[in-house]
Amino acid sequence: MTGLQPGRPEAAEVIWRWREPPKKNAEPSASKARIKGTIQGGVGLGVAAAIYLLWSQTIGTVVFCISTTILLSALASPLGLYRIIEGVFVSLGNHTGRALTWLTLVPLFYLFFLPFGLLFRRGRRDRMKRFFEPDEQSYWEPHKAFSAADHERQF
Amino acid sequence: MHVLGISCFYHDSAACILRDGEIIAAAQEERFTRIKHDSDFPANSVRYCLAEAGIADSKLDAVVFYDKPILKFHRILETHFSAAPAGLRLFMNAVPVWLREKLWIEPEIRSALEQCGAQAPEIIHFAEHHESHAASAFYPSPFEDAAVVTIDGVGEWATATLGVGEGNHLSILEQVSFPHSLGLLYSAFTYFTGFKVNSAEYKLMGLAPYGEGRYTDLIKENLIDIKEDGSFRLDMDYFGYLDDLVMTSGKFEQLFGRPPRKPESPITRQEMDIAKSIQEVTEEVVLKIAQHARQKTGKQNLCLAGGVALNCVANGRILRAGIFEDLWIQPAAGDAGGALGAALSTWYNVLGNPRKTDGRHDQMQGSYLGPEFSRDQIKEYLDAQGCGYSELTDSDWAPTLAKLIADENVIGLVQGRMEFGPRALGNRSIIGDPRSTKMQSVMNQKIKFREDFRPFAPSCLEERVADYFDLDRASPYMLLVAPVREDLRTPAEGDEGELEIHEWTNRARSELPAITHVDYSARVQSVNAESNPRFYDLLRAFDDLTGCAVLINTSFNVRGEPIVCTPEDAYRCFMRTEMDYLVLGPFLLAKGEQPGGNSVQSHPGENSPD
Ligand SMILES: [Fe+2]
């Protein structure tokens, strides 16, 4: 056995920082919210103008209204109305993300995994080997020999 | 040369650092974040390891991850090919996480290391999951050559492997593949008996001695086909984990004529009998694998790792069966130990460095591989908090504590470096007098806030182990269960099977009731002066005072919480429970002398099930 090595106090210091005050949730800052909302609203207005001039007046007007609401709410009520609107957009974004995941993965499951899975199983190519083999002596399988080059691969 | 090993993103993330092949530090992330079985990137553990090695901010020579993500993803895809059209819920649960995170582990490791202040080398190594387990079992062992067996839930494809280690070379010869898994079979029963999967398997093992193996044949006839060489297959119709987020299927429930037990509901005889039955099946498989390993490799020694190697009852059976001359089990046998094994495999198997062994000593340093807090650091903290304490001199330390323990006080003990692995081995432990008849229920209910059917483990002076237990060798890592000696036992009175479980538990089984299970077994830790001088001194002082060379040793935590790491964690836990004294290095704190006095600052109900 290698000798007992004492732990270094400097190392203990790295993971025990009791002198630091506990991290509080960042206080919501009105000025930060105002700046953020102004930038979002400003960019939105620019996008609205581009859409209005180059593509569709209707869509441009809708984007203009949304951007103006964001901008005005950030300026007038950065910790009130603006935060509510921001929350709605975040939640909308999350739900959209989840919906897109389902919209892409569910068809993948049924159009790819199901047919190919059925095909594999018909050809007895089921890697899960869901059957007992009473006549076999062993279920041990040979393991690939170790090679140092394998260590540099994730497979 | 420094090699950093990392295990994470499944459960129990950890990091380990080697310097020229010597283990410098290893720690589980849960100890730092205080999130039990934390599986996130082990940023704190990495930071700690780098600091312990004194190489923060420098470039690492090698970094190795403990499994191969793409092979694992392949297994997940094959599972869905096999299960479709069933398994959509599982698919939608697993695949997005893989696409978003788990397939991009290399860039994630690089950026996380950068945030830890370290620079990763050009190449990041990826060991196979069971290669990591096998390396963690063989390379630190005292053996020049040995058979190596790993058994767990699942890695990439393998769920059990048999290999051989010789000098600095380790090779895996054969494997049993997913979905056929002894670890997952045991977990399925853990789930079915109402305990938490991947966490509370040891509770099922603790429940087994209360039961009878009424279902052993049923399990062997229906659920598992075991060959003579220990290899096996499961009948997947009984299990849910191929196509759902549950471990068992409706057919499994039909077989046992009941649904899974609801967590926290009363434990009945049926759960005890089920626990006993699955334990018997597990032991049969493990013994057969050990026999096969002996025949196949011709080696005289066996090394074990993987989650199933934490089943110390099965380990004790291997030892007593005399299949091998000796047995060495990695103390961090679960996935945390994969970080250590991956690093060792890189150092020896990949880089080809020579390995030295002496046949007697292992390389784990008692598994005391975590942080240690100095006297000055502790004192500064205690003073800042206004805690009441006294400082014990080196010569007073052990006798003072021994006297307190003999007076039936319960003591929280923090000293030296934190243990690596799931067991507290005397450096982050709660200790008490094993002779006391009330100690088991006091410690279970007022301190650990846990079920009272589980006895505590004994720590014993290494040279006195044979005076108390039928065990002819050291068991430094609490990984062997051995019977309490016959002459110390108290015979059972009447038919105990009729008793309520808590009544049954509280019947004294021996002269050391708090550490003796209903079947007269005990999970022994032997302590020598070399691996833990302080704890050894304490046991010796207790022996001098009382003639008893054994202490109760349970991990320093409450239910649902990781084992404490820092003096601050320990103090908080101390104040939340009815522990009488706290020892932080040389300092002794009495509960009554603390600001807030004896008040218990939290209610047991606040502790989530573990
Ligand atoms: Fe594992």
Cα B324 to Cα B291: distance, rounded to the nearest angstrom: 9
Contacts of B222 in chain A (CB under 8 A): none
- Percent of chain B residues topping a pLDDT of 90: 81
Mean pLDDT of B114-119: 87
pLDDT single digits (tens) B420-464:
999 999 999 999 999 988 888 788 877 777 776 777 999 999 999
Sequence spans of domains, chain B: 2-136+333-362, 182-326, 375-593
Task: Say if residue B557's pLDDT is above 70.
Answer: yes
Cβ neighbours for A73, distance < 8 A, ≥ 6 positions apart? A37, A80, A81, A82, A85
Cβ neighbours for B203, distance < 8 A, ≥ 6 positions apart? B190, B195, B451, B454
**Interface mutation vs chain B, best among A101, A102, A146, most B CBs within 10 Å:** A146
Cα A19 to Cα B263: distance, rounded to the nearest angstrom: 40
- Split at pLDDT 50, 70, 90, the class of A120 is confident
Task: Say if residue A91's pLDDT is above 60.
Answer: yes
Contacts of B127 in chain A (CB under 8 A): 151
Mean pLDDT of B5-16: 94
- Split at pLDDT 50, 70, 90, the class of B602 is very low
B110: helix, strand or coil: helix
- Distance in Å, CA B348 to ligand 1 centroid: 20
CB of B86 less than 8 A from some CB of A: no
Q: Under an 8 A CB cutoff, do B233 and A133 touch? A: yes
- Percent of chain A residues topping a pLDDT of 70: 94
CA B351 to chain centre: 29
Would the CATH topology of B2-136+333-362 be identical to that of B375-593? no
What is the architecture of the domain spanning B182-326? 2-Layer Sandwich (3.30)
**Confidence (pLDDT) at A25:** 57
**Residue of chain B minimizing CA distance to A97:** B96
From B140's Cα to the closest Cα of chain A, the distance in A is: 9
Cα B393 to Cα B401: distance, rounded to the nearest angstrom: 12
Q: Under an 8 A CB cutoff, do B363 and A146 touch? A: no
**Interface mutation vs chain A, best among B29, B77, B81, B415, most A CBs within 10 Å:** B81
Residue B501: which of B237, B268, B271 has the closest Cα?
B268
Task: Say if residue B57's pLDDT is above 80.
Answer: no
Q: Under an 8 A CB cutoff, do A114 and B85 touch? A: yes
Contacts of A13 in chain B (CB under 8 A): 51, 377
Fold classified for B2-136+333-362: Nucleotidyltransferase; domain 5 (3.30.420)
CATH superfamily of B375-593: Carbamoyltransferase, C-terminal domain (3.90.870.20)
pLDDT single digits (tens) B127-170:
999 999 999 999 999 999 999 999 999 999 999 999 999 999 99
Cα B326 to Cα B52: distance, rounded to the nearest angstrom: 33
Mean pLDDT of A16-24: 76
**Confidence (pLDDT) at B22:** 96
Using alpha carbons, list the distances in angstroms from residue B406 to B395, B540, B546: 18, 13, 7
Residue B590: which of B430, B380, B390, B443 has the closest Cα?
B390
- Which of A13, A143, A152 lies nearest to residue B125, judging by beta carbons? A152
Q: Under an 8 A CB cutoff, do B92 and A101 touch? A: yes
- Distance in Å, CA B422 to ligand 1 centroid: 14
